[in-house]
A and B are shown apart, each in its own frame.
Chain A
Amino acid sequence: MKGSSMGYLLKTGFKNVYMNRLMSFASIGVLVACLMLIGSAILLSMNMQVIVGAVEDENEMVAFLDMDVSDDQARQIGDEIAKIPEIAESYFYSSEEAWAEEQKKWGAASAMVEVDVDGNDLGPILPDAYRIKLNDVSQETLDSVTNQLLQIDGIDPDIRTPSQEATILSDLERAISTVGSVIVVILAVVSVVIIANTIKITIFSRRKEISIMRLVGATNTFIKMPFLIEGMIIGLISALLAFGGLWIAYNYATQFIMQSPSSWLEIAVGKLIDFRDIATRMLAGFAIGGAGLGVVGANLFIRRHLKV
């Protein structure tokens, strides 16, 4: 394809958008709404993940072993724990490690509990334990894992579990991503249909030109191209608008959260993602998504309406 043809095709594509501006405007409107919602869903779930991650780090499950458990038994218990499917990883946290950590906190005072008044070693003070990281910290998983742990011999019934906030946040995050995905899919379908209709109108208003193009020997690709470009332009314009809109809206929302921290939102403050950190990725994703939806929409009707 020569440069002059490429120029012609691009020009025609832009002209199509302009000539059909009312429908183009409608498509852009819907597509912007769609992309902004997709973006919001992504931002929300990214932030949720960061927050949940932070909360989870502070809240792992700890299963203490009974004091009289031997090393061999401890190993066996470890194997049993590893078999529980909801557990991402677990590691042995020995009595000595636990004590070393406690000593750091207590300093010299810790010596007081190591030996009795006669200087005899008292032996281990703290129990061995397994520290457990879960795949997620939903209430359901917690209950299930707790039950399974309690059935293992040698584990102390007093299992330390993550706090309630983590559980709520994690449940919320899952709900948001599920609902978000459904909304995104519906909106994507709506945008494709709207774009397809816009392109259909352009095709209709250009049917004379198309018939002449066919007559003088324009190839199918050449005939289709301006319509695909039209779809792509609509997609890209929408992507830019949605990107700008989302940036403004996000900054506004984060400022609002920072200024009025309610009790449980406090965890979030300071951990929220800065839009600038993800702006490039977001823009690239929007551009690809917008252009993609545009081209898919354009293609939907071209096949049926542009036969040789």
Chain B
Amino acid sequence: MAVTAGARRHPSEASKKSQETLLRIKGITKYFDESLAVDDVNLDIRRGEIFALLGASGSGKSSLLRIIAGFEAPTSGHILLDGEDITAQPPYQRQINMMFQSYALFPHMTVEQNLAFGLKQDKLARDVILDRVQRMLKLVHMEKYARRRPHQLSGGQRQRVALARSLAKQPKLLLLDEPMGALDKKLRTEMQLEVVDILENVGVTCVMVTHDQEEAMTMADRIAIMDEGFIQQVGSPVDIYESPTSRMVAEFIGSVNIFEGTIIDDEEDHMTLRSPDLERDIYIGHGVSSSVDNRQMLFALRPEKTWMTTEKPDGDYNWSSGTVRDIAYLGGHTVYYVKLPNGKVVQCFLANTERRAERPTWDDEVYVHWMNDSGVVLRT
């Protein structure tokens, strides 16, 4: 039913990442006492990809991560790493390392000692450990801070150390728990790209958990949206944003205007919906090709694809009049809150491509309109 919006991945990136499955999550369910935290999750994580579990707090994403790490045992289901069932293995036997949200750096050890800790557990030779620690320090640009203790480092530096420590054992799989959670906004954007660079440099497969959609979209190749322990949708950032398959996903990622409508016409190459909120019908450039009994549908339209003019648009479809209720100037773009005739308020983003351009202002009569393929039809 959804529009085919193939992920436009960078060509070199696409070829680099294989389709081979590294981690297979089979029917994982987890109950804490009576409450269901993870609900029959099935996922295949491909070798070399960065995979994000995205959800609000309490969505079960952290529980799933802790099950993969081995800190929690699933109520049922299996975890397979490289074909081997590791469900019963304790954390210290798994070739999986995790970067904790709090970083969990050992406060009584120096940066070097923190990095060497895991290697010492493997009883590696001294010079091998020293060499590996040096390489890790170099990887995260922390050579100068080898002798410092964690409390003598800044937040960003601690994160580098935590990342280096989780990579030092060359795990098959790296887990990141809210990797940017402890950083301030500006540092966060910087570190997101840097961490991705480091991960791609090392070539490690990575599963991350985050509640921050921007972070997931910046860093991950694929995203799974979790809600109430259940995976709602899996796909590339473009898939998730442009072709959400449910109202929950559409509303969770970014802003969206949602109109309820009834199917008037459903053909192979087009369909029309009638919404009580809009003056004109919605025309969509494809059909949902379904003989559903329920003719009630949802139409999801992103605010940046919702255009606003002062002139009446041509055509019989895809527009409505309204008045400007509120204006939020955000620098890069401005958000207009337009009130439609029957009271519904929709959002329009207008990119500020000109300085101080002539724009509609409060209480102006305007028209909102959009193109045939701008929105997505969702079942109720």
Pair from one complex: no
